Amino acid sequence: MSKERARRRAAREAEAAQRRAVRQRQLARQAQRRALLRRLTPPVRRGRIGRLPRRTRGERAAIVLSTVAAILMIWSLVDDLALRFGLVALLLLVLPAVVVIALDRRS
H helix intervals, 41-106: 57-77, 81-103
DSSP designation for 44: P
**HSE value, Cβ hemisphere, 13 Å, CA-based, for 10:** 6
Judge if 67 and 36 occupy the same domain: no
pLDDT in tens, the chain (107 residues): 788 999 999 999 999 999 999 999 999 999 999 999 888 888 776 665 665 557 788 888 999 999 999 999 999 999 999 999 999 999 999 999 988 888 876 65
- Count the domains in the chain: 2
**HSE value, Cβ hemisphere, 13 Å, CA-based, for 29:** 6
Task: Look at residues 89, 92, 58, 88 and name the one whose alpha carbon lies nearest to residue 74.
Answer: 88
Judge if 36 and 68 occupy the same domain: no
For residue 85, give the 3-state DSSP assignment: helix
What pTM does this model have? 0.49
Judge whether 6 lies within some domain.
Answer: yes
Quote the CA–CA distance of 79 and 89 in Å, as a whole number. Answer: 16
Host domain of residue 12: 1-44
